[in-house]
């Protein structure tokens, strides 16, 4: 069920004198306008926050007072859209068919950690001026300990009124915790992945009308800033929206600085599609074919598990998209978290648009779960595949932070680094044969050739030789035959192939 909209046409000249009245009760406005072409829309997206409902002729957008004032100076006719507050009945709270109060949300997050202390830890990432908390749970078999396992991140609802992912994230936490030790696949995930899930990234927006309900939720935060335009941008640099970094933004930047996430997803609403990089520019990502593979896998699973036309959204520029879209091909976003994570943090993140209705009828939430949870698990599982291993010093055996670069392939910060204190690296690639160079200042670089299969793990443990080592140690061993290990962690089809790799020195 969609929000009830009251459409009001406001003449440009009269309205330009009354912006203060428009923003007197709410710091954001929702409106539509006709646009000439995608180039114009991309230019306008530098000023306002374009919404998912935009089609080939009419754009929909949000703006705060500063943004809207800049927009009306352009002389473009527009229509203000008044969104009536939602008021769904929530008399029955069972089977995850309701939106919790803020206090209930906090209690649920605390209960997860208290009920499963051996595998779940609650982190308080920061407190907002409102007193509301940014919360995240960490799930692992040895929770809180650094191990040779990749770190995965799900977050939801940085736009406070896009709430399907809020409930799906809470239910996913519950599903994983109760499945551990009872469900083989979930147990393997917890045993092999450092899982982090934040169900609510913008609590001030979600509970803008008070902690008791979400029916007056807003897209922007309490300062009327769109958090998904507030991150450093690969093309536009720092503060692309002209605003200071918000507390919420700094909290998640700090989290990404502390935890070396290698795959993540950011849950939104307003469409039903996997949006993959890039958002900020037209150049395709180095791993565009891998992105299409994992996005197609997510969408196909959703479609198979819903059976009612769900997740079959098509971009107006690509009528055959069928639930998958390149971000820039849809519309450009500057300052988005997806591109920030990919470019600056070397983490593969895409954006999940989970429901055409930004705040779905709570009675529809169970069916959204049924359609999405296999895809959420499949995407999480992708973190175990691709090229991985541990990089160490050939003399001391100490772990190293090394650059992992795919020759004649990597562009736009698509390389990755191994992570301390383990020295483990994780590089996700579409199936094929690749030359991979491992390098670090003070060490001889090493290049290997390796083969990748989709949905399979290839392990290459690497030792780098210090430049100040003796000539004897450098030339001990020049070439050897090795086996590439293709390991399916969760029991799918697997195989081994032999490969000749030239190394300066081995273990």
pLDDT digits (tens, 9 = 90+) for 301-336: 999 999 788 998 776 666 657 999 999 999 999 999
Domain CATH for 282: 3.40.630.10
CA-angle at 203, arms to 198 and 205, nearest 5°: 130
What b/e string do you get for 385-412 counting C-beta neighbours within 10 Å, with b at 16 or more? bbbbbbbbbbeeeebbebbbbbeeebeb
Whether 109 maps to a domain, the answer reads yes
Residue 410 has pLDDT above 70, yes or no: yes
Please check whether residues 357 and 415 belong to one and the same domain: no
Question: Which residues, including other chains, have CB under 8 Å from residue 208's CB and lie 6 or more apart?
Answer: 160, 216, 217, 218, 222
Q: What is the mean pLDDT of residues 271-293?
A: 97
Last residue of a domain, one of 20, 54, 83: 83
Please check whether residues 286 and 402 belong to one and the same domain: no
Please check whether residues 127 and 249 belong to one and the same domain: yes
Q: What is the mean pLDDT of residues 477-487?
A: 40
Q: What is the pLDDT of residues 83-129, one digit of tens each?
A: 777 766 665 677 899 999 999 999 999 999 999 999 999 999 999 99
Please check whether residues 399 and 308 belong to one and the same domain: no
Residue 132 has pLDDT above 90, yes or no: yes
Q: What is the pLDDT of residues 208-259, one digit of tens each?
A: 999 999 999 999 999 999 999 999 999 999 999 999 999 999 999 999 999 9
As a whole-number percent, the residues of the chain with pLDDT over 70 amount to 86
Tell me, what's the pLDDT at 165?
99
Burial class (CB in 10 A: 0-12, 13-18, 19+), 309: exposed
Tell me, what's the pLDDT at 19?
73
Alpha carbon distance 254, 256 (integer Å)? 5
Q: Which residues pair with 195 in a beta bridge?
A: 139, 152
- Count up the domains in the chain and report the number: 3
Please check whether residues 430 and 373 belong to one and the same domain: no
Please check whether residues 260 and 371 belong to one and the same domain: yes
Last residue of a domain, one of 56, 83, 110: 83
Last residue of a domain, one of 334, 363, 384: 384
Residue 444 has pLDDT above 70, yes or no: yes
The pTM (predicted TM-score) of the whole model is 0.88
DSSP β-ladder status, 151-156 and 194-198: parallel
* C-alpha distances in Å from residue 96, one per residue of 105, 215, 365, 367: 12, 17, 7, 10
Q: What is the pLDDT of residues 60-70, one digit of tens each?
A: 999 999 999 99
Domain that holds residue 179: 102-384
Cβ atoms of residues 156 and 168 within 8 Å = yes
Q: Which residue has the higher pLDDT, 55 or 309?
A: 309
């Amino acid at each position: 069920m969609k929000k009830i909209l009251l459409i009001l046409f406001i003449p440009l000249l009269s309205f330009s004198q009354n912006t203060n009245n428009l923003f007197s009760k709410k710091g954001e406005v929702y409106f539509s306008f006709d646009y000439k072409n995608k180039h114009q829309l991309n230019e306008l997206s530098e000023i306002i926050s374009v919404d998912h409902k935009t089609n080939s002729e009419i754009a929909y957008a949000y703006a705060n007072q500063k943004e809207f004032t800049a927009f009306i100076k352009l002389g473009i006719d527009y229509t203000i859209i008044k969104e009536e507050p939602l008021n769904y009945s929530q008399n029955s709270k069972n089977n995850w068919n309701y939106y919790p109060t803020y206090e209930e949300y906090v209690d649920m997050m605390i209960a997860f950690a208290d009920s499963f202390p051996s595998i779940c830890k609650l982190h308080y990432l920061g407190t907002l001026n409102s007193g509301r908390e940014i919360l995240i749970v960490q799930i692992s078999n040895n929770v809180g300990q650094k191990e040779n396992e990749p770190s995965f991140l799900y977050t939801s609802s940085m736009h406070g009124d896009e709430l399907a992912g809020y409930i799906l994230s809470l239910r996913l936490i519950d599903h994983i915790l109760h499945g551990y030790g009872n469900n083989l696949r979930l147990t393997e995930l917890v045993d092999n992945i450092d899982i982090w899930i934040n169900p609510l990234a913008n609590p001030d927006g979600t509970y803008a009308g008070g902690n008791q309900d979400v029916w007056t939720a807003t897209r922007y935060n309490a300062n009327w800033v769109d958090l998904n335009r507030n991150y450093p941008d690969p093309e536009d640099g720092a503060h692309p929206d002209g605003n200071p970094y918000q507390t919420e933004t700094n909290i998640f930047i700090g989290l990404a600085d502390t935890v070396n996430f290698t795959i993540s997803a950011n849950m939104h609403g307003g469409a039903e599609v996997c949006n993959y990089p890039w958002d900020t520019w037209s150049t395709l990502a180095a791993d565009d074919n891998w992105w299409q593979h994992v996005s197609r896998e997510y969408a196909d699973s959703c479609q198979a598990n819903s059976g009612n036309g769900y997740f079959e959204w098509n971009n107006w520029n690509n009528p055959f998209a069928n639930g998958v879209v390149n971000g820039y091909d849809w519309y450009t976003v500057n300052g988005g978290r997806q591109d920030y994570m990919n470019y600056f943090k070397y983490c593969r993140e895409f954006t999940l648009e989970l429901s055409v209705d930004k705040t779905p009828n709570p009675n529809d939430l169970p069916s959204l779960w049924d359609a999405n949870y296999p895809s959420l698990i499949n995407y999480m599982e992708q973190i175990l595949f691709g090229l991985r291993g541990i990089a160490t010093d050939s003399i001391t055996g100490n772990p190293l932070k090394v650059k992992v670069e795919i020759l004649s392939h990597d562009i736009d910060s698509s390389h990755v680094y191994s992570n301390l204190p383990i020295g483990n690296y994780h590089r996700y690639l579409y199936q094929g044969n690749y030359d991979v160079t491992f390098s670090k200042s003070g060490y001889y670089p090493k290049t290997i050739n390796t083969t990748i299969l989709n949905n399979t793990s290839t392990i290459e443990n690497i030792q780098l030789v210090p430049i100040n080592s003796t000539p004897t140690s450098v030339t001990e061993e020049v070439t050897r035959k090795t086996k590439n290990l293709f390991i399916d962690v969760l029991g799918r089809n697997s195989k081994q192939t032999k490969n000749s790799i030239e190394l300066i020195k081995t273990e």
